[in-house]
Structures are given as C-alpha cells and as structure tokens.
Amino acid sequence: MLIDSHAHLELSEFDGDIEGVIQRAKENGVGCIITVGLNLEDSRKVVALAERYDNIYASVGVHPHDAKSVDATTYDLLGKLSENDKVVAYGEIGLDFFRNRSPRDIQIKRFGEQLELAGELGLPVIIHDREAHREIVEMLKEWKGHSGGVIHCFSGDYDMARKCLDMGFYISMPGTITYRKSETLRDVVRRVLIDRLLVETDCPFLSPEPKRGKRNEPANVVYTARRIAQVKGLSFEDVARVTSENTRNVFRMKAAVL
Ligand code: NI
C-alpha cells in the first residue's frame, strides 16, 4: 500500500470526480491521501473532504502565494480547524521566490509566524520551497517550536537534503523524479536513506511520466515509487511499505486507514 503524502483534491480540477479519484487510487494500491490546504478557504475544503472520506487526511495552512491574504483572524480560524482529528499537519507553508505572487518580505514574515503556530499546535509542517533553498534552511534552523515535518516536492540538491535531514525533516519526492532532466533529484534519492523519503503527487500538478501533460491524481504516485525503486535498487513493495511507514511516522497517523 502506498500513501500519497501531498495532494490538492479540493481544487476545481477534481470537481465531480472525487469518488473516481479514490477508486482509481485504491485500484493502484494507493490507500491513503493527504490533501493539503493553500489558504483559509481552501483549508476549510480539505477538512470537509477528510471528514467525508475515511482514507483522506488533511493539512491546513497558508501557502506562500497566499501570504498576503492573512489577516487578524486567519490564524485563530486555522487553529480551530486544526482541532479536527483528521488534520495531521500544518501547511503548506514556506517561500516561493520563483513566482513571487506575494511580496518576499511578507512571505518570510508569514512563514515565520506559521512555523511558530504549527509548533504551538504540536503539528508537523509541510514545507513549500521554490528557488528559496538558502532562506528555507536558515528559517528552519531558527525554528524554536520545531515539531517536525517534511520538505514537500523537494527540488534541492544532496547538500540541501543533508541539511534538512540533519534537522530531523523528511523529504518528499514528486513525479518530477521521472523526468529525463531530473538527474539532481535522482542523485538525492540515490544517496538519501529510504527511511527518510515520502512520495507524493502534488496533484492536479506535476504528472509523472508517462502521464505528463495530463491532470495528475493520487493513483499516479505508483510511477514515482517505481522510479525510486529503480534508482535505489529496491523492490517496489519495499518502497511502498517504507514510504508509507515514514508518512505515518512524520504525521503521527498511527491508526491511519489503509
Ligand atoms: Ni502542494
């Protein structure tokens, strides 16, 4: 059984197709999906999905793109939402210096605030890092309330991976590992122990080969796990078993439905 550790099933790309998505995931051995909030409104939607389906879990938080949407009530409301039993993480939070949809100084401020909030709530974090490797590592180092977490859709090199692992974080691999040009990412996978890796789709984005260009969905996490198995010289079953165990560990989902 596999776990898709990062999906966005609440987005409109999945309207009217959630049952189909879950069905196809099950047929492909993907027993559990963590769906991740991008802002307050979106976080409400992921919690509603998690309440409705046994094998969907939720994470709440404000993505760096939406950092400018945070107001005086946002964190209180997210804290309330996080009291739901199906909420297993805080995020996704972080920095995106590629698109810069919120100003960088606001992204940094909101990221710092949300790290502390996650620590207070006792939730592991899901980190988004795009073209901000150095700043992310620095801020994680300074995080006083460290409650663990994962660097999602990892895009750094082995040196950065090493720094994150040394701070106790897990690393999550997206479908981009199947792309021809992703040699740096495969180098990371080769050198990082399997017991620190998670797999994810980040669907509806980033479809792996051979589904590239189409809407992504949790069932496709099998392509990512298969490629990891190949790169590391492990069996598919071992990659599925260990990455699922890692996901349950980082998100403390001892009783997860699988
Ligand atoms: Ni995401």
Q: What is the pLDDT of residues 173-229, one digit of tens each?
A: 999 999 999 999 999 999 999 999 999 999 999 999 999 999 999 999 999 999 999
Give the H/E segment covering residue 32: strand 30-36
* Ordered DSSP codes for 5-29: EEE-TTSGGGTT-HHHHHHHHHHTT
Question: Cα(36) to centroid of ligand 1, in Å?
Answer: 7
pLDDT of 68 reads 95
- Cα(160)–Cα(153) distance, rounded to whole angstroms? 13
Q: What is the DSSP letter of 92?
A: E
> How many A from CA of 39 to the centre of ligand 1?
11
- d(CA 100, ligand 1 centre) in Å: 16
Q: How far is the CA of 167 from the centre of ligand 1 (A)?
A: 22
pLDDT bracket for residue 255 (50, 70, 90): low
pLDDT tens profile 22-63: 999 999 999 999 999 999 999 999 999 999 999 999 999 999
User: What does pLDDT average to over the chain?
Assistant: 96
Q: Give the domain range for residue 253.
A: 2-257
Q: Which of 154, 163, 92, 153 is nearest to 125 (CA)?
A: 92
How far, in Å, is the centroid of ligand 1 from the Cα of 133? 17
Q: Residue 162 belongs to what H/E stretch? A: helix 158-166
Is residue 161's pLDDT more than 80?
A: yes
At 76-103, the pLDDT tens digits run 999 999 999 999 999 999 999 999 999 9
For 97-250, strand residue ranges (E) read 125-130, 149-151, 170-173, 197-199
What is the token pair recorded at 79? 């804290």
The pLDDT value recorded for residue 198 is 98
Query: How many Å separate Cα 119 from the centre of its chain?
Result: 17
pLDDT at residue 211 in the model: 95
First to last CA, the chain: 7
Alpha carbon of 155 to those of 54, 77, 130, 243: distances in Å?
Answer: 31, 31, 7, 18
Ligand 1 centroid vs 257 CA: distance in angstroms?
A: 22
Distance 196 CA to ligand 1 centre (A): 19
Asked if the model's pLDDT at residue 231 lies above 80, the reply is yes
CATH (domain of 211): 3.20.20.140
Q: Based on the structure, what is the number of domains in the chain?
A: 1
What's the rounded mean pLDDT across residues 13-29? 97
Å from CA of 141 to ligand 1 middle: 22
pLDDT digits (tens, 9 = 90+) for 185-199: 999 999 999 999 999
CA of 203 to the centre of ligand 1 (A): 8
- 97-115 pLDDT, tens digit per residue, is 999 999 999 999 999 999 9
Quick one: pLDDT at residue 173?
98
The reported pLDDT for the residue numbered 179 is 97
Residue 254: band (very low, low, confident or very high) from pLDDT cuts 50, 70, 90? confident
Average of per-residue pLDDT across 119-147? 97
